[in-house]
Every structure is written in C-alpha cells, then in structure tokens.
Amino acid sequence: MQISVNDIKKRYGRKEVLKNVSFSASGGECIGILGKNGCGKSTLISVLAGILRGDAGQFLIDENDVLKEERIRHEKVAYVPQGTPIIEELSAKDNLSMWYGQDDLKKQLESGFLKVLGIDSFLNVMVNKMSLGMKKRLSIGCAINNNPKVLLLDEPTAALDLKCKEAVYAYLKAFRENGGILILATHDIYEISMCSKCYLLKEGILEEYTYNNDMTDLMNRL
C-alpha cells in the first residue's frame, strides 16, 4: 500500500497554516509530524481525516483521493483525536457495540487488536468512571472498527501513565506489522524514535527531519 499527501493548503483568514504540505509513505511505516504547539499539526491531521476541509491538495491512497472519495476514506482511514469522543454514560462494551457486530467484537476482545489494547480488562466499566488511559484506549478501539489501513493520531499518549502507554505502543507496533501506516502528531520522545520518517512543521511549511536522539537540535529547529 502507498499513500501520498500532495500540496495540502489551509488558511484561517490571512494566516496560512499549511503551505503545500506533501509527504509519502508505504505500508508498515510510521510518519511523525513534529512542531511547536499551535504550528498546525492538529490542523493537518484533521484535514487528512476529513474533519476539516483543506483549501487545496490531495490525500491519495493507492491512487484514490480520499479527500474527495468519502466512502473509501471511511473504509481505509481511522482518526483518533486528542480528546476522547466516547459516550460517558455508557460502558466500554456499550460504546464498542455501537461500532462492532457481536461476533466481531467477541473475536477482537479474545484475540484481536482490542485484546492488544487491553480493553477486555475494563469492558464493563462506565466511561465516566474510567482513567484517562482507559478512555484513550477505548477511543482507539472504537476508531479501528473498520480495520483501517491508515491510522491518524493526534498526540496518542499525551498525559497517559507508563502502563497505558505500553498498551497503546503494543497496538501501534502490531498495526504496523500488519502493513498499516501510522501518521501521528507528537511531542513524545519514544514516539519520535519509533517513526520511520519525521517531518517538522514550522510556519506552515513541512520539511523532512532526521532525528538522531539529539533533543537540543530538535528544540533549536522548532
């Protein structure tokens, strides 16, 4: 599988947030989008997810522009925002049941990606009683119901404890090993180190960046 992001533009009034943003990736790769708060990372992820409408550009998956072909985007792309868009008054199981058929849900909880995320351990817990880490894992679980090929994540482990991060990282590793492509906006050192390619977004311009475990260099470039 191949994806290609071509010349994405987004403007808010006079401020050009994304200026001809382009990159490409193949199955199994992880693309890291780095930059200061407010630089446009979340905007880029939201445009690719179809949540925001860009002013120009393409997001090609195997030559299909999923910014125009909504059906294909829903089949192949999943989006996990910074927040946790799940229903607080329901349990984990009830939330998942809105996205999965009964047989598929059982299979995923027993031996699939939901098991990797550890959701089976808090299946009957109400969302309003969950920790932030539980909510994040449940949000990912709901998002991947369609067995996506591309996963868009906006700071997926921000504010999570180490145990919850380990569960998320285990899932992300398994997703890549199955040929999926990750695109994530992040500040997390471990997430940066696991990326196959990193890009810096600064003043609307996206440039490839080679991270060599030198945080001083990275901070100077932000």
CATH number at residue 201: 3.40.50.300
Distance between alpha carbon 155 and the CA centroid of its chain, in Å? 8
Measured CA to CA, the distance from residue 14 to residue 194 in angstroms comes to 36
Owning domain of residue 163: 2-221
Amino acid at 107: K
Contact 181, 31 (CB under 8 A): yes
Asked if the model's pLDDT at residue 215 lies above 80, the reply is no
pTM for this predicted structure: 0.91
Number of domains in the chain: 1
Percent of the chain whose predicted confidence (pLDDT) is above 90: 78
Check pLDDT > 80 for residue 194.
yes
Write the Ramachandran bin of 200: left for phi over 0, alpha for psi from -120 to 50, otherwise beta: beta
Mean pLDDT of 130-159: 92
What mean pLDDT comes out for the span 63-73?
94
Q: Which residue has the higher pLDDT, 26 or 217?
A: 26
Coil, strand or helix at 147: coil
* Dihedral (Cα; 147, 175, 32, 13), 10-degree rounding: 10
Q: Which segments of the chain does DSSP mark as H helices, in order?
A: 41-49, 70-76, 92-97, 102-111, 113-116, 132-143, 162-177, 189-193, 215-221
209 to 33, 44, 104, 158: CA distances (angstroms): 10, 17, 40, 22
Average pLDDT for 27-35: 96
